[in-house]
Amino acid sequence: MFDNDKIIWFDCCCPIYSFITKWRYVLRYSNRFWKFFVSVKLTVVLLLSLAVTSIVGTVIPQNENPAAYFRAYGEFVYKLFDLLGIFDMYHSWWFQLLILLLTINIVVCSIDRLSATWKIIFVKNPSFNLSRFRTLSQKEVFTGKQNPKELSTVYETVISRQFGYTRVEETDKGLCIFAEKWRWTRFGVYIVHFSVILLLLGGLIGSLFGFEGFAIIPEDEKIDSIRIRNTGQVRSLGFEVLCDDFNISFYDNGTPKEYRSSLTIIEHGKPVHKKDIIVNDPLRYKGINIFQSSYGKMPSGTLQNKKIHKKDPPEDITLNFASKKSGKAYKIKAVIGKPVDIPEGLGKFVIIEYRKSADFGGQNIGQTYMGILTPKDKDPVNIMLPLHFPNFDKMRRGAVVISVAEQKTKIFNPGEKSNQRYYTGLQITKDPGVWVVYTGFIGMIIGIFITFFMSHQRLCIEIVKRGKKSDVIITGTANKNKLAMQDRIKKISEKLINL
Amino acid sequence: MNSSVLLSITTFTYGLAAFLYIASWVFKKPLSGRLAFWVALIGVVGNTAGIIMRWVESYRLGIGHAPLSNMYESLVFFSWTIVIIYLVIERQYKNAVIGAFATPIAFLAMAYASMSPNVSDRIQPLIPALKSNWLIAHVITCFLGYAGFAVAFCFSLMYLVRTLTNLNLFSIQGRLARSKYLNLNIIMLIFNSFLAVICLIVYKLISFKTVYIIIAIFFLLLIQSLQLLIYFFQSIKRLHDLDRPGSHLLLSLIPIYNIYFNLVLLFKEGTRDVNQYGHPDQYSDDTAIGLLGILPIRRILDELTHQMVMFGFLFLSIGIITGAVWANSAWGSYWSWDPKETWSLITWFVYATFLHARMMRGWSGKRIAYLSILGFMAVIFTYFGVNLLPGLHSYGLG
Ligand code: HEM
C-alpha cells in the first residue's frame, strides 16, 4: 500500500517524474523512429550511399555555365539532371538529406549506447569478475617463492606503476590483485562521432552566416564592397581595403614564385591595419579573411586618366550573345545608340555609352560599354560590358549572356613592370563556423587515436597458497587489440618472476 | 651520382627483393626469403638516401623544398613507407610470404615513378600555392595512410588466395563453390591489372627491337592463354556445381545472354546436396597445404587487415584534415568539393564502412577482404584516376 501511495505521489507531484513518464510515452510511440536510426546497418548503407553518390559530382563538372551543360548533354538529359540538382549535387536536397540522415543516425546511436557506456565508465569501485578471469584460456602461470601475503605487497607496488587502479582482494584460495587502466578510452568513439557532428555543424554555420566573395583592386585604389561568388550580389565589407602595391616575382625558368599584395585596411577614413599578403598567408581582420587569388594588368590609359570619357570608343564593336536556352552564341556588330535584335526572340539590346574607366561596387573595372537590355515582355535592365572581364554579364544569370567579342588586348608579358599598373584579385571570405570545424578536426584525430590504439585493460593476478610458496596466475582482458594484451601479460609475468 | 640514379637503383633493388620473396614462396625456400629481407632493407636505405639527396639537391638549385611536391616525389615516398611498414610487420609476424605481395607494389610504384613518361623526375620550383607547411604535413600523412591501405590490400589479397584451398587449377573433375570462383576471378583481375601496368612501363621504357617485341608478345600470349585455360576449367566445375553439364559453357558465346550467364556463374548458389558431379565443394578451411599452406592463417590475415586499415584510416583522416587546413589558408575555404578532395572523402567513407561493418555488424573474413580491396581501388583512383577527371587540383600532375 505504502509503495503504491508513494508512486502516486511521485506521479502527480514530482515534475521530474511526470516528465520522465511523458518522455517514455513519447519514446514508445517514436520507437519505430528510434529503431530505424539506432541501427548500424543504416550507417553502413548511408556511408556507402554517400561514397557512391559523391562519385557523380566528380564525373560531371559542377556549377558550370548552364549553356555548356546544355551543349554537352542535350535537352532531355540536361533537364533531367537539372531537376535532380546534379549540376550542384553536393548542395542538392537529396545529398543534404543523406547527410541529415547520417547525422540523426549518429546522434541516436550515440545516445542509445552512451547510457550503457556511461555506467561502465563512471564507477568509483570497478567490479571485477574473478570467475570470468579464471575461465580465460590465455594465462601465464609460475611459482612464487613467498606466501601470498608477501608476494601481493611486492607485486602491487610494481603493478600500480603501470596501472592506474589496483585492489587486493581475498579469494577462496588465497589473494587476488586486480588492476586496470584506461577505462576512459571507451569514450573515444563518442569523441569521433561528436566530431563528425561538429564538422557538419560548422559547415552549416559557415553556409548560413558566412560568405565567399571576390574583389579586384587596382594598385593605389580601394574598395569597400565585394561581389559574392555564385550569386553575384554586392556586399559591403564595413571597411575599406586599399591596395598599395602588387608584385610578382619569378623563378629563373619563368614560373611564378610569389604574388604579393600590400594591403591597408581603412576604417572611418583611418588606416588601421597593414599587411603584405601572399598565397598561403592571408590577412584576417574582424572575422573577414582576404586571400591572394589572382592578378592582372590594368588596361593602359587608366593610369593617366581616370575620368569618364564618353566619346572615344573603339571603332568596331562586335557583341557576343550567348543564349542560355539553346546554348548557341551569336556575334553581331553594333553601333552606339542603335538597338540590335537578339536572335531567338530574346529581346533588344542597345549600347548607350562607352566609359574608359567604369566603377562597379567601388571597383574599377576598366573600359566598359554601358547598355540597356529589353527582354521580351519584361522591364529593361542596365547592363555593363567591361572589355577585360568577358564573363562579367554571366553573373546576372539572365536568359542571354552578353559580352564584347574581338577585343584587342595586349598579351600579358610577365616580368615587364615598367609603367605598368596591376590589379590584384582577392578572395574575400567570412566563415564563423571555421572554429567549430577545426575543433571537430582536432577531436576527430584525438578520438580516432584513442579508439584505435588505446584500450581499457584489466589485469588479474591470482596468488594461490601452496605450502610455503604460491602459485601465481596472471590473466587479463582488453576491450580492443587483444593480441597486444597477451604480449603485455607475458612481459608482466617475466618481470614478476624475477622479483 | 644524383638522386635520380640512386632511386633508379632502388627500384631495381625492390624488384630483386620482390622476385626473391615470390621465389621463396613458390619454391618454398626460406633462405631466399631471408635474403629478400636484406635486399629490401638495402632498398630502404637507398630509398631514404635518395629522398635526402633530392632534398639537398633542391637547395643547391636554389629552390629548396621538401621532396614531396609532385607525383614523382610522392610515389617515391609512398614506396618507402610501404616497404618500411612491411618490414616491421615481417619482423613481428616472422612470415616472409607477406613480402611476396607487398614488395611488388613498392616496386611497381617506384618503377612507374622512374620510368613512366607521364611522370617527370625533374626537381621543380614550388608554385606559390604549394609553399606551405600544411602541404608537407598533408602529403606525408596522406601517403602514410595510402601505404597502410596498400598493405591491408596485400593481406586481403592473400586472404582471397587462401580461400582457394584444394582448388585444382587444371582439372574439370568435381564441383567448385561460387565464392571460390568469385575470388579466383577477382585475383585474376588484379593480377592482370598489375600485368598491364608492368607492360605499360616496359613498353614506354625501352625502344624495342622487333625480336624483343615478339618475345614479349609470346610471353603475354602464353600467360593469357594459361589464364584462359584455367578460367575454362573452373567455369566447367562451376557449372557442375549448378548441376549442369560442362558443355553449357558454350552458352557464354551468345552475346548479351553471356552477361547473364556469367552473373549466374559468379553468384548463383550451387545445389545443396550431392549431385551427379559429386559432393558440394567445401570452400574453405585452414588445413591448406602446399603454396597456400605457407600463407598466414586466415584469422591472422583478417586481423592484420583490420590493423592496417586502422593505421591507414587514422592517417588518411589526418591527411584530409591537414589538406583542408591548407586549402583554408591558401584560398579561404576548407572544403570545395573538387574531385581530388571528393575522392579522398569517398575513400574515407569506404573505410568507415569497413570499420563499422567489422566492429558492429560482425563482418569478417571474405566480406571484409572485399571491402578492403574496394577501398584500395578508391585509393588508386584518388591518386591516379582523378587526373583524368575535370577539376582544379593542380597538385599531383606530373
Ligand atoms: C562519417 C561518419 C563516421 C565515422 C568517421 C565514424 C567512425 C567510427 C570509428 C572510427 C569507430 C571505431 C571503430 C573501431 O572501434 O574500430 C566507430 C565505431 C562506431 N560507430 Fe561510427 N563513425 C561514423 C558514423 C557513424 C554513424 C552514423 C553511426 C550510427 C549508428 C555510428 C555508430 C558507431 C558505433 C555504434 C560504433 C561502435 C562503438 C563502440 O565500440 O561502442 N558511426 N565509428
- How much is the pLDDT for A414? 45
Residues A253-294 pLDDT 10s: 667 777 888 888 888 878 888 878 877 788 787 888 888 877
Q: Is the pLDDT of residue B375 over 90?
A: yes
- Nine cell digits for residue A65: 555555365
Q: How far is CA A476 from the centre of its chain?
A: 42
Instruction: Say yes or no for a CB contact (<8 Å) between B343 and A58.
Output: yes
Phi, psi of A471 (to 5 degrees): -90, 130
Taking the centre of ligand 1 as the mean of its atom positions, its distance from the CA of residue A243, in whole angstroms, is 49
Provide residues with CB under 6 Å of ligand 1.
A 40, 43, 102, 105-106, 109, 113, 189, 192-193, 196, 448, 451; B 352, 355-356, 359-360
- CB contacts of A246 in chain B (<8 Å) are none
Could you give the ipTM of this predicted complex? 0.85
Select from A112, A190, A280 the residue whose CB has the most chain B CBs within 10 Å, as the one to mutate to test that interface. Answer: A280
Q: Is the pLDDT of residue B365 over 90?
A: no
Q: Is the pLDDT of residue A407 over 80?
A: no
Residues A211-223 pLDDT 10s: 888 878 887 778 8
Q: What is the Cα–Cα distance from A410 to A420, expressed in whole angstroms? A: 12
Q: What is the Cα–Cα distance from B295 to B282, expressed in whole angstroms? A: 19
- How much is the pLDDT for A412? 42
Instruction: Say yes or no for a CB contact (<8 Å) between A289 and B332.
Output: yes
Q: What is the rounded average pLDDT for all residues in chain A?
A: 78
- How much is the pLDDT for B390? 56
Instruction: Say yes or no for a CB contact (<8 Å) between A47 and B131.
Output: no
Rounded to a whole number, what is the distance in Å from the CA of B382 to chain A's nearest CA?
11
- How much is the pLDDT for A21? 63
Instruction: Say yes or no for a CB contact (<8 Å) between B342 and A282.
Output: no
Size of interface A-B (CB pairs under 8 A): 111
The DSSP bridge partners found for residue A333 are: A318
Who has greater pLDDT, B373 or A360?
A: B373
Of the listed ranges A81-85, B45-49, B386-390, the least confidently predicted one is: B386-390
Within 10 A of B192 (CB to CB), how many other CB atoms are there? 13
Instruction: Say yes or no for a CB contact (<8 Å) between A445 and B317.
Output: yes
Give the residue on B whose Cα is nearest the Cα of A437.
B334
What is the average pLDDT across B325-334?
84
Mutate to test the pocket of ligand 1, among A43, A50, A186 (most ligand atoms within 8 A of CB): A43
- How much is the pLDDT for A439? 94
**Mean pLDDT: which of A77-81, A373-377, B101-105 is highest?**
B101-105
Q: What is the Cα–Cα distance from B253 to A300, expressed in whole angstroms? A: 71
Nearest alpha-carbon partner for B26 in B291, B292, B226: B291
Give the residue on A whose Cα is nearest the Cα of B134.
A280
Torsion angle defined by CA atoms of residues B150, B155, B157 and B161, in that order, rounded to the nearest 10 degrees: 160
- CB contacts of A109 in chain B (<8 Å) are none
Q: Are A461 and A320 in contact (CB under 8 A)?
A: no
Q: What is the Cα–Cα distance from B146 to B380, expressed in whole angstroms? A: 9
Q: What is the rounded average pLDDT for all residues in chain B?
A: 83
- How much is the pLDDT for A311? 38
Taking the centre of ligand 1 as the mean of its atom positions, its distance from the CA of residue A138, in whole angstroms, is 29
**Which of A40, A281, A441 is closest, CB to CB, to B361?**
A40
Whole-model pTM: value is: 0.78
Which residues lie closer than 8 Å to A405 by C-beta, 6 or more apart?
Answer: A318, A319, A320, A331
Residues A45-56 pLDDT 10s: 898 999 898 888
Q: Is the pLDDT of residue A446 over 80?
A: yes
Confidence band for A191, pLDDT divided at 50, 70 and 90: very high
Give the residue on B whose Cα is nearest the Cα of A196.
B317
The DSSP bridge partners found for residue A176 are: A169, A462
- How many helical (H) and strand (E) elements, i.e. helices and strands, does chain B have? 12, 0
Confidence band for A76, pLDDT divided at 50, 70 and 90: confident
The conformation of residue A380, written as its DSSP 8-state character, comes to: -
Q: What is the Cα–Cα distance from B194 to B380, expressed in whole angstroms? A: 12
Rounded to a whole number, what is the distance in Å from the CA of A234 to chain B's nearest CA?
19
Residues A300-349 pLDDT 10s: 544 443 333 333 445 567 888 888 777 788 888 887 777 888 888 888 88
Confidence band for B372, pLDDT divided at 50, 70 and 90: very high
- How much is the pLDDT for A417? 45
Confidence band for B352, pLDDT divided at 50, 70 and 90: very high
Q: Is the pLDDT of residue A455 over 50?
A: yes
Q: Is the pLDDT of residue B320 over 90?
A: yes
Q: Is the pLDDT of residue A228 over 90?
A: no
Select from B65, B91, B127, B300 the residue whose CB has the most chain A CBs within 10 Å, as the one to mutate to test that interface. Answer: B127
- Amino acid, single-letter form, for residue A469: K
Taking the centre of ligand 1 as the mean of its atom positions, its distance from the CA of residue A190, in whole angstroms, is 8
Mutate to test the pocket of ligand 1, among B307, B356, B358 (most ligand atoms within 8 A of CB): B356
What is the average pLDDT across A146-175?
81
Within 10 A of B390 (CB to CB), how many other CB atoms are there? 13
- How much is the pLDDT for A415? 44
Taking the centre of ligand 1 as the mean of its atom positions, its distance from the CA of residue A193, in whole angstroms, is 6
* Coil vs helix vs strand at A315: coil
Helix axes B298-331, B133-162, angle to 10 degrees: 160
Q: Are A327 and A70 in contact (CB under 8 A)?
A: yes
If you write DSSP's letter for every residue of A194-242 in order, what string do you get?
HHHHHHHHHHHHHHHH-EEEEEEEETT-EEEEEEETTT--EEEEEEEEE
Of the listed ranges A145-149, A370-374, B257-261, the least confidently predicted one is: A145-149
Residues B36-93 pLDDT 10s: 889 999 999 999 988 888 888 877 776 767 777 778 888 899 999 999 998 988 888 7
Within 10 A of A366 (CB to CB), how many other CB atoms are there? 22
- How much is the pLDDT for A179? 86
Residues B216-242 pLDDT 10s: 888 889 999 999 999 888 899 888 888
- CB contacts of A48 in chain B (<8 Å) are 349-350, 353
Residues B94-142 pLDDT 10s: 777 888 888 888 998 888 887 766 666 676 766 666 677 788 889 889 9
The three-state DSSP-derived secondary structure of B298-312 is HHHHHHHHHHHHHHH
- How much is the pLDDT for A419? 57
Judge residue B166's burial from the number of C-beta atoms within 10 Å of its C-beta, 0-12 exposed, 13-18 middle, 19 or more buried.
middle
Q: Are A164 and A181 in contact (CB under 8 A)?
A: yes
Within 10 A of B16 (CB to CB), how many other CB atoms are there? 18
Give the residue on B whose Cα is nearest the Cα of A438.
B325
- How much is the pLDDT for A79? 84
Instruction: Say yes or no for a CB contact (<8 Å) between B334 and A437.
Output: yes
Which residues lie closer than 8 Å to A175 by C-beta, 6 or more apart?
Answer: A148, A149, A151, A152, A168, A169, A462, A463
